[in-house]
Amino acid sequence: MAALNPRRARILIGGLIAAGVIFTVLVLALDEDGRQGFPAGVRLPAQTAEGASWSPDGRWVAIPNSSGVLLRDPDGERSRQLRAPRTPRYLGTMPGRIGWSRDGEELRYVTTVGPEKMSGAWVTTVPVDGGKARQLGLGTSVISVGWSPRGPRLLFTTGPNAFGPGGDVGPRSALWELRRLDAEPRQLVDLPGDESGPEFSPDTTRILFSLEVEEGRFELWVVRSDGGGARRLAGPFLTLAYRWAPNNRRVALVAAKSSDGDNHLYVIPASGGKLRDLSGHGLAAAEPAWTPGGRWIAYATRAGEIEKVRLGGADRQKIADFDGERIANLLWSPDGKRLAYSSEEIVERTSD
C-alpha cells in the first residue's frame, strides 16, 4: 500500500478511535459527466478501510473483516462473505490492500493469523467461489505490502529489528520480494533508512517506495523491479502518500514539506524532475487517485470535498462535498465511473 508511514498511521488512527471517530467505506456513483450520484455505503471498523480494493472487472469491492473478506457489489444489492483467516487488526493500518489475480478468481492478502501458533505474517490466498484458503508463512513480521497487478508477486517490508526471511535480525526495515508463492523471499533494497509502502508500476518494471531517512522525514524513491538502479525522486517530506499514473510515466503524491500541516498534491515524472504543485488549497492526508485513463487525479480536501484536477492544473471539478468530514482511501473503479472512498464522522462527546 502506498500510504503514510505505517508506524505513524497506527498512532494517528489510534488517537482518532479514542476521540470517538467512526469510519465508513462508501461507493460514490458518478454519471458520465462526473456529477455526484447516490452513494451506497458499507460501514466498516477503522482497521479495515485501508485494505479495500476493486475486482479487476469492477463487479466487487473486497473489504477485509474479522471473518475474512466481504465482497460487496458497488450498488450495495449483493454481498458474499468469504470465510478465511481473518485479516489483521492492526491499530489503524493494514499492511496493504487486498490483491486480486488477473482473472478475478482469487484474492491475496497478508495476515498474522495462520494454521500454526508462531510470530510473523502469513500470505493468504482465497478463491472467490468460496473454496478453501491456502497459506504460506513468511517467518517475519510485515509492515507494508504491495501486490503485482500481473501475477502473484509480492513486495513486503519487514519491521526494524525483525527477523528477516533468512533468519537474520535487521537493524532497519527492509524491502523484500516473493516472486512466486512457493519461492524463497529475497531482499531487493538495502538503503540507510526504513523502507515502506512499496508499489509496483502498472507495467511492473519499477517500484515506488518510501524511505524514512530520519525520524519523521520521508523521501520518495524508485527502483527497478530487479532491485537495481535505486534513486531518490523527491523529498524529504513530513508526510507522504503516492500513486503511479496508469501510463507509468508520472507519480502523483500528497505530501507536506513544512510543519504548517498543509499537504499538497504534486506530480513528478517517474524518470525524475521537478515537482508540480496542483493543489487548489490545503489537502487532507490521503493518497491521490488517478482515473483509469490517467487524465485526472482525484484528491480529498481539508474541507471534506473530493475534487479532481487535470495535469495542467487549470481544469478542476468538485465531485462531492462532505462538510466537516475527513475523506480518505480514494479508489476508482476499473471503468472510471465510480469512486470508492472512506469517510470518517467525528462524534462529539457531551459532558454529563
- Domains in the chain (CATH in brackets) are 6-280 (2.120.10.30)
Q: Quick one: cell of 111?
A: 495476515
How far is 340 from 349, CA to CA, in rounded Å?
29
When mean pLDDT is compared across 58-62, 167-171, 218-222, 278-282, the lowest value belongs to 167-171
pTM of the model: 0.83
Q: What is the mean pLDDT of residues 134-157?
A: 89
Among 48, 16, 6, 8, smallest CA distance to 340 is for: 48
pLDDT at 37: 56
When mean pLDDT is compared across 7-21, 87-101, 111-125, 301-315, the lowest value belongs to 7-21
Residue type, 245: A
Among 155, 211, 159, 208, smallest CA distance to 186 is for: 155
* Residue with the larger pLDDT of the pair 181 and 129: 129
How far is 225 from 237, CA to CA, in rounded Å?
24
Strands across the sheet containing 206-214 = 194-200, 206-214, 217-224, 231-237
The DSSP H or E segment spanning 8 is: helix 6-18
How far is 31 from 115, CA to CA, in rounded Å?
46
pLDDT at 114: 78
Does pLDDT of 12 surpass 50?
Answer: no
Dihedral angle over CA of 36, 52, 15, 350, nearest 10? 50
pLDDT at 15: 26
pLDDT at 141: 82
User: Other C-beta atoms within 10 Å of 347: how many?
Assistant: 9
Half-sphere exposure of 187 (CA within 13 A, CB side): 16
Does pLDDT of 345 surpass 80?
Answer: no
Among 154, 159, 244, 247, smallest CA distance to 208 is for: 244
Residue 33's φ and ψ, nearest 5 degrees, are: -90, 5
Query: What does pLDDT average to over the chain?
Result: 79
